[in-house]
Structure 1
Amino acid sequence: MELVCPAGTPAAMRAAVEAGAHAVYCGFADETNARNFPGLNFSTEEMASGIAGAHARGAKVLVALNTFPRAGGEELWHRRLADAEAAGADAVILADMGLLAHAAEHHPRMRRHLSVQAAAANPDAINFYAEAFGVQRVVLPRVLTVDEIAAINREIDVETEVFVFGGLCVMAEGRCSLSSYATGKSPNMNGVCSPASHVAYAEEGQDLAARLGGFTIHRTPKNQPAPYPTLCKGCFSSGDQTGHVFEDPVSLDAKHLIPALAKAGVTALKIEGRQRSRAYVGEVVRTFRAAVEAVAAGRPMPEGALARLSEGQAATAGAYAKTWR
């Protein structure tokens, strides 16, 4: 299976390729991609040189243009499609139907992948995107079990890509409204979930309050580490309980499920983390490359402790192994 790895910066791209990534995914430094954070992403020149460097080492580059264009502002997304093709990208990752249609018409030779932001989670939806826009791969949302993925693969003729490590979103991908409610910025249009410009910390008595858009998301004692105020991982009161109502601050780690995902017909394994450091990227990629090679060769997967790189130093298999509805 292809190992698809994050590259939030040119340095992280080099680290991912050197660590054994089969492919890296990245985006331009603007609102066309869903990791539009200050200090991250690529200029047009950096994209071209990064792709050339990755190709020289035998790795592919997938460019994420996975936000939804603003009405009247489509020109930026159209220009970035042309920039990605000119730079030699191996594929573009798209979510918006209008942008998919534009890519199919004006850049027919450019391989098109359907972003997880499109939230296509059943055969009918996936086959629609394949037939209407020539999509060749779909990134599945993190709400499906392994058995459900296997069932989907039996009814589609496109490749499937799934997340195996990193951040875990509890919302249907591409449908989150919490952050946009609190900050006025849509993650799916502005490319930022819980934007740093709307984060504030304040001492209140013996506590440190972490706020997002004026809403207090966490209160921690002054001598304790204060988490970043992401809404879905915040602490809330519900009835007589106060705690992590939506999601615990943990990361996805599905390394032990790689054999099952291979049997389910998955083509590519995706690591989340374009906002992470190059050291993080290098270590995670090396671990998963060794695991993928072991599975392909029929060997036992190597043991590897990635817990210290996980959020809260804890991990979960997420929906892959869920037993509830």
Structure 2
Amino acid sequence: MNNPTPPAPRKPQLVCPAGSLRALQLALQAGADAVYLGLKDATNARNFAGLNFDAAQVREGVAQAHAQGRKVLMALNTFGDARDRSPWQRAVDHAVELGADALIVADIAVLADARRRHPQVRLHLSVQASATNYEAINFYRQRYGIERAVLPRVLTLQQVQHLIRHCEVPVEVFGFGSLCVMVEGRCALSSYATGQSPNTAGVCSPPSAVRWDEAADGVRARLGGVLIDHYRPGEPRGYPTLCKGRFEVGSLASDYALEEPTSLNTLSLLPQLIESGIDAIKIEGRQRSPSYVAEVTKVWRSAIDAAWSAHCGQGRYSVQPAWDGQLARWAEGQQHTLGAYDRPWR
């Protein structure tokens, strides 16, 4: 494309997580334009026990969302098992039958199957597909008819803006939530410790592989037998994932060798993201509590409304201290970062 025309700015949709029917209800009450959810199986990338939806819950959630003019997006964002792809095919059929407004898909075989058997269904390209340039996204559009692409959290703001100018489909970006240091959709790190791939099983730290060893000097967290952290008495501890463990590297003291537990927070970038022409802002956290969903959604609803009003010439946008204070309660390690959006060391 020569001299591409940037898309006209639009008020971005707020897409929020729902790991349970209660979380879905609270997200709608707090102002989400759409919620995303998954089934109780390995077809979604948050396949934790006690989370996700059965058919009756999906049907109820869709009915409640549609009654309020909102949408439900079904995450079928793991990669099908080469030995048996039928669970992913059934999940596509269930999602369509239950009235999901769109499917969030990573696997090209699942995309192809959904388009062939359900040509009317709206398809979104999952962040798990790891499409980081406009050529890849345009390929998915031309070959599988995707109508939105979720960008991985590895691009700078300038790279996002360049991609959008050349992209044939609307783009969704993450605004808040836990970060993944690996290139989404390609992580194999926890597979070495647990024997289960997060790209097919749906969890990077399956509960069956997690062990907490308590002693007088604190708690040791292990994943698949591998010691990944030691928490002193009274020290806050998070769910153990290998990329956010503390390790001894060479002669260095134990520290976060790969990634610190901290949350993405792009409130300060909202005006630039809107001006870039993004279609939607996504909140991470289907594994988090309904209270997390309610409070984070409420903050982001207020922020998007304020940023859009400022874009339309009604006042000025600024990040309110109360917003940051509320989000800090739910951030990993109570720390915020712009992640890859801002790389001052370049």
What TM-score range do you get, normalising by the shorter chain?
Answer: over 0.9
- The aligned residue for residue 45 of structure 2 is 34
CA distance in 2, matches of 1:93, 1:195: 22
Q: Secondary structure at the match of 2:15?
A: strand
| Aligned equivalents of 1:263, 1:5: Cα separation in 2 | 21
Which residue of the partner structure matches residue 6 of structure 2?
none
- SS of 1:209's partner is strand
Find the aligned partners of 1:180 and 1:156 in 2 and give their Cα distance.
34
Deviation at 1:73, TM superposition (A): 1.9
Matched, 1:280 2:283: no
Distance 2:35 2:82 in 1: 30
CA contact (8 A) 1:147 1:264 kept: no
* Farther-moved stretch of structure 1 (215-224 vs 31-40): 215-224
Q: Which residue of 2 aligns with 1:24?
A: 35
Query: Shift of the alpha carbon at 1:204?
Result: 4.8
Q: Which amino acid in the other structure matches residue 30 of structure 2?
A: A
Residue 192 of structure 1 is matched in structure 2 by 203
Matches within 5 A, 1:237-252: 237-241=248-252, 242-252=254-264
The two structures have a TM-score, normalised by structure 1, of 0.97
Task: Choose from 267, 279, 292 the match for 2:304.
Answer: 292
Closer, same or farther: CA 239–72 of 1 in aligned 2, 3 Å: closer
1:112 maps to 2:133: no
Partner of 1:57: 68
Q: C-alpha distance in 2, partners of 1:312/1:221?
A: 15
Distance 2:33 2:137 in 1: 24
The letter for the 2-side match of 1:245 is A
1:124-158 deviations in whole A, cap 9, x for unaligned? 11111110000111100000011101100111110
Partners in 2 of 1:249 and 1:225 — Cα distance?
Answer: 11
Q: Does 1:77 align with 2:88?
A: yes
TM-score by length of 2: 0.91
Query: In the alignment, which of 52, 59, 68 is matched to residue 79 of structure 2?
Result: 68
- Pairwise CA RMSD of aligned residues? 1.2
Distance 1:195 1:307 in 2: 27
Match of 2:192 in 1: 181
Task: Measure the CA separation in 1 of the matches of 2:191 and 2:140.
Answer: 27
Q: 2:244 maps to what in 1?
A: 233
Letter in 1 for 2:337: T
Deviations 1:153-176 (A, max 9, x none): 111110100101011001111111
Which residue of the partner structure matches residue 56 of structure 2?
45
Paired positions, count: 325
Q: Indicate whether 1:123 and 2:134 are aligned.
A: yes
> Does structure 2 conserve the Cα–Cα contact (< 8 Å) formed by 1:146 and 1:264?
no
Q: Distance between the aligned counterparts of 1:292 and 1:310, measured in 2?
A: 19
Describe the SS at the equivalent of 1:216: strand
Gaps of 5+ in 2: 1-11
Q: CA–CA distance in 2 between the matches of 1:220 and 1:28? A: 34
1:311 pairs, out of 332, 338, 342, with 332
Moved over 6 A (4+): none
Q: Once the two structures are aligned, what percentage of the paired residues are identical?
A: 50
1:205 CA drift (Å): 5.6
Paired letter, 1:270: K
Matched residue type, 1:142 = R
> Are 1:210 and 1:226, in contact at CA under 8 Å, matched by a contact in 2?
no
**2:69 maps to amino acid:** G
